[in-house]
C-alpha cells in the first residue's frame, strides 16, 4: 500500500500515513498538536496509519532534548524584531560594564581617598588680600605725606633764621609758619602711624617705619 510522509508543523516530526487519511486530522504522537494531512488524488483506498518505529524511537529520544518551549522558540518568526529592540539594551549594558571595569581597575581606592588631605578654600582670602593691598597703598601715601611735611618744616625753620631780627612783623610771620608746619607734621605722623598699624594688623610684613627719616 502506498504511503506518504508529512512533517508536523509544530515539532517537525515525520508522520507516515496512507491515502485514507488524506485531508483528515490527527494528533501528532510527538507533541500532541492537531495535524491536518494534505489532500491527495482520490481513488486510493487504505485505512491504516502507522508511524515508523525508528522514527518514533527517534522522536522519543528527541522528547528530552526538544521541550515545547524550545519548539516554540524555534518556530517563532519575529526574532528580527526582538533583536532590533534588544540591541540598545545590550549596548548600554556593555558600556556600563566597561565603565565599572575601568573604575575598579584604574580608579582611586577608598583607602587612598581617606588618606588624602582635604583642602578647603578660604572664602575670605580674597577680601583679606584686597584689604591688605589697599592698606599698603595707604601706608605708602602717608609716608610720602610725612616726608613732604617734614621738608616743609625744615624749610620754614631755615627761613626763620634768615629773617631780619630787626623787623618784628617778619619775625612773627616766620614763627607762625614754623608753628603751622609743626602742627601739619604732627598730623601727618599720626596718619602714618595709624595706617602702618592697620597694615601690620592685616598681615603686612614690610617695615615702612624703618624707611623714614628720624624726626
Q: Where are the domains of the chain?
A: 3-75, 125-211
Q: What is the pLDDT of residue 42?
A: 45
Q: How many C-beta neighbours within 10 Å does residue 11 have? A: 22
What is the 8-class DSSP label of residue 29? T
Enumerate residue ranges in the chain where pLDDT < 50. 41-42, 45-49, 51-56, 59, 64, 110-111, 215
- Answer whether 206's CB lies under 8 Å from 173's CB: no
- Answer whether 2's CB lies under 8 Å from 44's CB: yes
Q: What is the pLDDT of residue 53?
A: 47
β-strands 34-36, 3-7 pairing:
unpaired
Rounded distance between C-alpha atoms, residue 48 and residue 20, angstroms: 7
33 by Cβ neighbours in 10 Å (0-12 / 13-18 / 19+) ranks as: middle
Q: What is the pLDDT of residue 76?
A: 59
203 grid coordinates? 598681615
pLDDT, one tens digit per residue, over 183-208 is 999 999 999 999 999 999 988 888 88
- Answer whether 154's CB lies under 8 Å from 215's CB: no
Q: Determine the 3-state secondary structure of 105 from DSSP.
A: helix
- pTM of this prediction? 0.42
Q: What is the pLDDT of residue 45?
A: 47
Chain-centroid distance, C-alpha 116: 20
Amino acid at each position: 500500500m502506498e504511503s506518504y510522509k508529512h512533517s508536523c508543523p509544530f515539532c517537525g516530526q515525520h508522520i507516515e500515513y496512507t491515502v485514507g487519511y488524506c485531508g483528515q486530522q490527527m494528533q501528532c504522537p510527538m507533541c500532541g498538536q492537531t495535524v491536518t494531512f494534505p489532500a491527495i488524488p482520490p481513488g486510493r483506498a487504505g485505512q491504516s496509519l502507522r508511524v515508523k518505529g525508528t522514527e518514533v524511537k527517534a522522536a522519543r529520544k528527541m522528547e528530552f532534548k526538544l521541550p515545547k518551549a524550545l519548539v516554540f522558540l524555534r518556530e517563532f518568526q519575529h526574532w528580527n524584531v526582538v533583536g532590533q529592540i534588544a540591541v540598545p539594551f545590550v549596548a548600554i549594558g556593555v558600556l556600563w560594564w566597561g565603565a565599572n571595569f575601568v573604575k575598579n581597575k584604574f580608579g582611586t581606592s577608598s583607602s587612598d581617598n581617606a588618606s588624602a588631605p582635604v583642602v578647603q578654600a578660604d572664602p575670605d582670602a580674597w577680601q583679606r588680600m584686597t584689604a591688605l593691598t589697599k592698606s599698603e597703598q595707604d601706608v605708602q601715601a602717608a609716608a610720602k605725606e610725612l616726608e613732604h611735611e617734614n621738608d616743609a618744616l625744615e624749610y620754614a625753620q631755615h627761613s626763620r633764621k634768615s629773617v631780619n631780627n630787626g623787623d618784628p612783623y617778619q619775625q612773627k610771620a616766620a614763627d607762625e609758619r614754623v608753628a603751622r608746619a609743626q602742627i601739619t607734621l604732627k598730623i601727618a605722623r599720626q596718619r602714618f602711624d595709624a595706617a602702618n598699624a592697620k597694615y601690620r594688623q592685616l598681615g603686612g610684613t614690610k617695615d615702612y617705619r624703618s624707611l623714614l627719616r628720624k624726626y
